[in-house]
Amino acid sequence: MELADKAVGFLLSAISLSIFSYYTFWVIILPFVEKDHFVHEYFPPQEYAILLPVFSGVALLSFLCVFVGFVMIKSNKKKKSA
């Protein structure tokens, strides 16, 4: 079991590092590269560099609020029945 946990941890770390590197290159380095360079083919337009994290943050915050709301409603029902 310990080996499986280490493998999952390594996999999650590798995925996180690759996403961070891709986003960092996209946002910080790519604006200084000429527009006709082939590397631009591997990245979406710059507008998405702001829209994607904002949308992800709003979705995560919404999910957390709904989750906390469901837990509070469930907890309130248990208190009333006890």
User: What percent of the chain has a predicted confidence (pLDDT) above 90?
Assistant: 83
1 vs 38, residue with greater confidence:
38
- Which amino acid does the sequence have at 36? D
**CB within 8 A of 44, min separation 6: which ones?**
26
Other Cβ atoms less than 10 A from the Cβ of 49: the count is 16
Closest CA to 48 of 75, 23, 11, 29: 23
Residue-wise pLDDT for 8-26, tens only, equals: 999 999 999 999 999 999 9
In sign, the C-alpha dihedral spanning 62, 63, 67, 70 is positive
E strands within 22-80? none
First to last CA, the chain: 39
Question: For the whole model, what pTM was predicted?
Answer: 0.69
